[in-house]
Structures are given as structure tokens and as C-alpha cells.
Structure 1
Amino acid sequence: MTSYKRILIVEDEQDLARIIKDYISKQGYEAAIINQGQGTLDTLDSWQPDFVILDIMLPDMDGIELCRQIRQQSNVPILILSARGSDTDKVLGLGFGADDYMTKPFSLIELLARIKSNLRRVESMMNTVHTSRQAKEQDVLRFGPIMVDKKAYRVTREDEEIPLSAKELELLFYLCQHPNQVFSKIQLLDEVWGYSTYGDENTITVYIRRLREKLESDPSNPVYIKTVWGVGYKFSFNEA
């Protein structure tokens, strides 16, 4: 009767992989382990997991490259694990389509919270796809040359499509829903990712930077996504 969510763990540290699997299995999830990158895409296709935990330090291939390949094949949520905590790794990981990032060592309780949060986001997105015609117009926001269509997961600037990851679009859509309203990093983590207690505020910094690179004509002097120093960020728009 119960439909268990499937979680694929791509981790070469066998003890760690087993600990993660045992822990999340006790929480009601179905879990499988792959100890190397090879075969991950085939398993993704045949097993159809609902969530992927991906170590970027794999023995046979670069986990960041594997993340990119997964994203080309599927929109499954991906959480990257890494022993490297540098901002560069975060930019690379999130830029290639990862939805979340955790640095080793980490708390299993925090990992579970992030899994639940990301799965809730996916369910919410699927519910949005089946919403009534009344809600349809609320899924499309227009600000001058910029159009954000959450239902189609599409963003255009002067009718030219801008490729965004699912989480980049969700963050942009949330900011656009509240033009000229300032949000702290904690608020954005809570509203877009669904957690703030365990969230890394640097995640927001990375995503804002990537949105500016893709959306703004001059990312160093943004017109739309502005920083309010000491407070947070806002989507700035004034009707002409």
C-alpha cells in the first residue's frame, strides 16, 4: 500500500554508504548503493530513484562530471557530498545541476532533513503542474523584458531563453513573487530549500551569483537581483 521513496547512494566509502543506507532505511526510504560512478546512469534509468546522494570524490570518475551527466538524463534531485568545503566546489557542483551540497563530516539528522525538504519541493512542483486554470496565470511572472514561467520551468530575457537549473528557477521565482521585498539568506533557505536550521548560507551566495551571471547584462552591477548590505537580497523592479 505504501509507496516508498527510492534513494540512490553513490559513495565509494563503503562503511559510510552502509551507515547512510541503514539510517534512511529506518526512516522509511528504500535505498541502494553504488560504490563507483560506472553504472550509475544505467541504475538511474532502470531503478528510477526519487533522490540521489552523490560523492564527488569517486574512484573511477569525477563526481561533478557524473552530476552533469545525470542532469542531462534526469531532473531527479541531487545532493552532493564532499570532503572539500571550498566555495569553488560549491560553484562547480551547483552549476552542473546539483540541488544541494553537504561537506563531510555531516550529521545524519541534517542529511535526513535535506532529503525530506528536497522531496517536498519535488512533490510541490508536481502538484503545481496539475493545478487549476485559475492558478495558471500565477505561474507566469513578467518584469519588463524578463518572463519567468514556473510551470514550464522556463525563463526568458527579451524572448531569449535562459537555461536555469530547477533550484535556480525556484529561487528566482520566489524573489520575483515578492518584487522589491528584501529577504535574508536564512529566509531564502527556509522558503526555497525548506530548511534553515541546518542550511549553509553560502548556498544562497552561490545561487545568487549564478543567477546574476545568467540574467544580468553586467553581473557586477546588477539591475534586477540586488544586494541590500547587512540584510539580504531582493528582486528590484520599478514600473516605467
Structure 2
Amino acid sequence: MFLQGYLPSILEGAALTLEVAAASLVVSVVLGLIGAMFKMAHSRALVWSAELYSTVVRGVPDLVWMFLLFFGGQMLINDIAERFGLGAPEINPMIAGVLTIGFIFGAYMTETFRGAIMSVPKGQMEAGAAYGMSPLRVFFRITAPQMVRFALPSFSNNWLVLVKSTALVSVIGLNDMMYKADTAKSITQEPFTVYMVVAAIYLLITTVSIVALNALNKRYSTGVRESEL
């Protein structure tokens, strides 16, 4: 029997990997938009805080952040609970993994969205404000639809890297695809076959993502290239 029947278990882990990736993407997009807004704010404190966030996060390896935020966070919770005489809750690996990966890639999304917003003609946003639109309405009606086209190339790259970075959650005990693969490898003693299957699944996910993102990019570019000719 192929992989001694562990293939369904690995596929189950792959489903969890996709859940982690999707949830992390949502967190990273929210943080990225906030970071981009901070970087373009008039307040020097907001600009510096966003700059510090993107610089520090991108300068530290992802695995180090995973250990710092998971184990360090648990220690902080334990200390606070002990100080107030309460029982310390255990950090959920799923939540910890999603928040950590989202936190990391929020820094990359910050630069992606900042560059995309700056690519939108400033005059259009000023025209919306002059028309009486609120800043929030200007963003959603004028800025956001146009910035998508400029953000997609970098966004696509960030998503592909994020998907592969989900393998890190196995080190904090989450039963993702890599965790299941490690278990299968230890029992079957077929590490090459096990990890080739995992590599094929990751390749399938990234390939489907590339096709979908290219189609999305083409859709948002419709009529733009012709007008630029």
C-alpha cells in the first residue's frame, strides 16, 4: 500500500495548511493596509511606528518569530496569570500560527499596499475629496479599485511565499501537512517518498494560485494596456 495508508492523513493535513494560509492572508492584508496608511500619514509617530514594524519584522527570520511569539507569548500569559492568581490558558497552536504568519506577512503587505496606493494618481483622490466624499469613501470608491491592479504582482508573490511559510506551524505542534508528513516518515521509513508527496501538494497549490492570480491580474488590466499604447 502506498505510504502504508498515510496519504489520507497527509491530505487532511494539507486541508489544514490551506486553512492556515487563508486565515493568515486575511490578517496580513488587514495589517498591511493599516501599515500602509500609517506610512502615508502626516503624523511622524505613525510613520515611524509603521517603519519600525516593517523593518524589524522583515529583518528577523520567520522561524525565530514563530518561536518568539508562541513560546514567548505563552510565558507572558503564564506570568500575568500567576501575578493575578489565575490559571494560565494554553495558547492554541492554530491561532498562534495564523497570527504569527499574518503578523510577519503584514510587514510585506505594508510595502505592497503603500506602493500601490502611491501609484494611483493623486489628482483623482483630491477630486473625490473636492466633490465632498469622505476620506473613507474616497479610499473604497476611488483608491482601492485602482490600487488592486498595482498591488497584484507583489501581492501574488507574497501569497506564494506565505503558502510555503505555513510549513513553520508544524514546529509548534499544529497537525498541518508537514506535521503529518513527519509522522508518516517516522513510521514508514520512506522519507523521500513522503516529502516528494508533500512537495507535489505544495507545487499544486502554488500552481493553481499562479493561474488564478494571473487571471485576476489580466482582468484588472483589461483596457489599461490598450489605453497606454
Which structure has the bigger radius of gyration? 2
**Which protein is richer in helix relative to its size?**
2
**Which protein is richer in strand relative to its size?**
1
TM-score range (shorter-chain normalised) is under 0.3
Q: Which has the higher contact order (CA 8 A, sep 6+)?
A: 2
Relative to the length of structure 2, the TM-score reads 0.23
